[in-house]
């Protein structure tokens, strides 16, 4: 699947978002090594800390289905701003993806491609050392 198709999957995912508080709909599409795509959307909660982002929804769904190898992720949103992942989502990506993992972030005129390493340089990794 090419990046443009993955971005389309992310736009389809945002149609299922539950965002009554922010009204900012976000969708994500995660491509697995076997070609499977897992979609995620943001799910807000009145207790805002319990909200889950689209990126984590997609990753957690894939993990729950037994997937562990990921090729790339696309993210799309309803607003005008470019929907870069939040810090929590970036850290979850680091848990399961390599630094060169591509993230395709939808914009009004196409999409940007950025690596996970660019999104979260010097990320926390349990047990990692500088030695």
pLDDT tens digits, one per residue of 10-60? 999 999 999 999 999 999 999 999 999 999 999 999 998 899 999 999 999
- Residue recorded with tokens 């950025």: 114
Q: Is residue 67 part of a domain?
A: yes
In a domain, 130, yes or no: no
33 inside domain: yes
For 29, the domain range is: 3-119
**CATH number of residue 67's parent domain:** 3.40.140.10
The whole-number average pLDDT for the span 87-98 is 95
Q: List phi, psi (to 5°) of 60.
A: -65, -35
pLDDT at 98 over 70: yes
Q: Is the pLDDT of residue 125 over 80?
A: no
- Indicate which residue of 5, 9, 15, 55 is catalytic: 55
Please tell me the predicted confidence (pLDDT) of residue 73.
98
Joined together, the tokens standing for residue 45 give 């909660």
Instruction: Say if 124 falls within a structural domain.
Output: no
pLDDT at 80: 84
52, part of any domain: yes
Domains in the chain: how many in total? 1
Token code pair at residue 126? 């349990």
Looking at the domain assignment, is residue 126 inside a domain? Answer: no
Residue 108 has pLDDT above 90, yes or no: no
Three-class DSSP labels, the chain: CCHHHHHHHHHHHHCCCECCCCCCCEEEEEEECCCCEEEEECECCCCHHHCECHHHHHHHHHHHCCCCCEEEEEEEECCCCCCCCCHHHHHHHHHHCCCCCEEEEEECCEEEEEEHHHHCCCCCCCCCCCC
CA–CA distance, 112 with 77 (Å, rounded to integer): 13
Length of the chain in terms of residues written: 131
Known catalytic membership, residue 55? yes
For residue 28, give the nearest of 44, 13, 43, 8 by alpha carbon: 13
Within a domain: 127: no
% the chain with pLDDT above 90? 85
């Amino acid at each position: 699947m090419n990046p443009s198709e993955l971005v389309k999957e992310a736009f389809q995912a945002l149609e299922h978002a539950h965002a009554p508080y922010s009204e900012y709909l976000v969708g994500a599409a995660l491509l697995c090594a076997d070609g499977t795509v897992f979609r995620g959307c943001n799910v807000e909660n009145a207790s805002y800390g319990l909200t889950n982002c689209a990126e984590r929804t997609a990753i957690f769904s894939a993990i729950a289905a037994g997937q562990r190898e990921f090729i790339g992720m696309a993210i799309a949103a309803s607003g005008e701003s470019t929907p870069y992942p939040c810090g929590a989502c970036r850290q979850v990506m680091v848990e399961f993806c390599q630094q060169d993992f591509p993230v395709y972030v939808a914009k009004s005129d196409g999409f940007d491609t950025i690596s996970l390493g660019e999104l979260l340089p010097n990320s926390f990794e349990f047990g990692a050392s500088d030695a």
